[in-house]
Structure 1
Amino acid sequence: MRRGSDWRALLLAGLAGLVPAALSAAEGAACTKPVYLSFDTGHMGVAPLVAQVLQRHGVKATFFLANERTLNGGSSLDAQWAPWWRERAAEGHAFGSHTWDHDSWLADLPGGALRVKPSQGPQAGRVRMLSPEAYCAELARPAERFAEMTGQRMGAIFRAPGGKTSPALLKAAAACGWQHVGWAPAGFLGDELPSDRYPNAQLLARALRDIRAGDVLVAHLGIWSRQDAWAPAVLEPLITGLQARGLCFATLREHPQLGAAARTPK
């Protein structure tokens, strides 16, 4: 009897373990028209609001991390923000690099070097040259900091600041295992545009009209130049509006072309 009871207990435990997996598979199968919402770091002023909206609607997103100046004079990857990132990691969002000092590409140089202009860090605003190895180090630093903050490893995906890339930049990144992620034309959500010329209502209407299944969407966790905060004014109705059109949200780990890189730990 004891052996029979043990067998039944094991069977029940095994079935119980299958239920969450089956539910997860069913939920994944139901998402037949995904869009991929992503956020780059910024001054982090709307980060708590973004997190609340995503939680409220059960939406998972992909975050690209750079060490950017915040509203209180700190930085987006400092100790103050470590708990915020740890919570997002525990919720199952995906993560990639945005370079440590937010280096925007300017030109390719002989030998594979890159001319870039960082907007953050000790050389902010000054043009500098990075060798391919130095650019790889810039990509790796956010991954290292993310692991320190969360105990997890980010995926092998990155977004060049401003989406600006070149053959030499992509080659340098690929050589150290990084794949670039841009965004769809309709996926540019416009939160970095001036509020007086691009009010929130206009940005929302355009996004709801133009976004299609498969699009990668991009917004930020705070933009210095925008007076009327994009989140949550646009974010929440955007989510519900796209869902009403039959679209669903997934992280880049589920993307058909980018998923393998997004799932590869750095």
Structure 2
Amino acid sequence: MPSASSRARRAIALAMAVAVVPAAWAQGGTCEKPVYLTFDTGHMGIAPLVAEVLKRQDVRVTFFAAAERTTTDGDSLDNHWAPWWKARAAEGNEFASHTYDHTYWRADLKGTTPTFRVKPSAGAFAGREFIWTAAEYCANISKASERLALITGKKPLPLYRAPGGKTSPKLLAAAKACGFEHVGWAPAGFLGDELPSEKFSNEKLLTQALDTIRPGDILLAHLGIWSRKDPWAPANLEPLIVGLKAKGFCFQTLRQHPDYRAWIASHP
């Protein structure tokens, strides 16, 4: 049986040799093995590379955006990055909220109305804990969605992703009541770009993904992680896409996901 490293090397070689599949096949239509690649924001240092790869491979994805600190001394939804987001919209990608201040849910609080202990990790109040009502939490989700609409010219999907995937039933109910369905990711879809590269090499992560991803999985990566010393992209992004295509997978956006299609259609 080939070793993990040899399988990973073959996938990388394949990325350089396999032709791009036709757009109609890549985006759905007759595809029987869809996967849903999603990106959360980050420091944006690899954003140009990600855009280049997605365009070259004719893949559409769903971006979940928050106003996170960037390598350009601003945030990922500021005017510096507005043309980048607008270009992704023109290519047919989809967008959704990641909460404006990349706000982590910490706990539900007792009471007759839903209130939550939260901790933003971006913005002027990063690192501080607050008590928010459901309305305040919804406003932070909506703020990112509204900013995306402004800079892309495209209405974002009525979806959101909580930072770290940390939620509670009460939090999810509050978000849904104000028009936002939560999106997590498949266990195999956690692509590992947040993990320490000293323990989880790019080669190991690529092999694991190609071996374990199944049809219908939602995949998660980021537009730059500060803590990882050996960045996941560019090493793994294109080999992963090409390797999955070679196994008969195609890439769709969450607008096409069966779990969210009806919700999206009912919230135009």
Per the alignment, residue 142 of structure 1 pairs with 144
Per the alignment, residue 49 of structure 1 pairs with 49
Per the alignment, residue 91 of structure 1 pairs with 91
Percent identical residues: 59
- TM-score for both structures, normalised by structure 2: 0.88
Correspondent of 2:160 among 155, 158, 161: 158
SS in 2 for 1:149: helix
Q: Map of 1:169-248 to 2, 5 A cutoff?
A: 169-248=171-250
Deviation digits for residues 87-109 of structure 1 (CA, Å, limit 9, x no counterpart):
00111111110000001111001
How many residues align? The count is 244
Q: Map of 1:119-138 to 2, 5 A cutoff?
A: 119-138=121-140
Per the alignment, residue 251 of structure 2 pairs with 249
Structure with the larger helix share: 1
Q: Distance in 1 between matches of 2:162 and 2:55?
A: 27
- TM-score for both structures, normalised by structure 1: 0.88
SS in 2 for 1:242: helix
SS in 1 for 2:28: helix
Q: Distance in 1 between matches of 2:208 and 2:26?
A: 32
**Amino acid corresponding to residue 77 of structure 1 in structure 2:** L
SS in 1 for 2:228: coil
Higher Rg of the two aligned structures = 1
Q: Report the CA distance between 1:263 and its aligned residue.
A: 5.4
Deviation digits for residues 29-65 of structure 1 (CA, Å, limit 9, x no counterpart):
2211100000000000000000000000000000001
Q: 1:88 to 1:254 in 2, by over 3 A?
A: same
Q: Distance in 2 between matches of 1:76 and 1:42?
A: 7
Of residues 27-36 and 201-210 in structure 1, the stretch that sits farther from structure 2 once superposed is 27-36
Per the alignment, residue 116 of structure 2 pairs with 114
Deviation digits for residues 179-226 of structure 1 (CA, Å, limit 9, x no counterpart):
000000000000000111111001000000000000000000000001
SS in 2 for 1:28: coil
Deviation digits for residues 104-142 of structure 1 (CA, Å, limit 9, x no counterpart):
111001221011111001110111111000001000001
Per the alignment, residue 61 of structure 2 pairs with 61
Q: Distance in 2 between matches of 1:219 and 1:24?
A: 24
SS in 2 for 1:219: strand
Q: Distance in 1 between matches of 2:63 and 2:26?
A: 25
Q: Which runs of 5+ in 1 are unaligned?
A: 1-22
Q: Map of 1:74-89 to 2, 5 A cutoff?
A: 74-89=74-89
Q: Report the CA distance between 1:264 and its aligned residue.
A: 6.0
Q: 1:105 to 1:41 in 2, by over 3 A?
A: same
Per the alignment, residue 11 of structure 1 pairs with none
Q: Distance in 2 between matches of 1:52 and 1:182?
A: 25
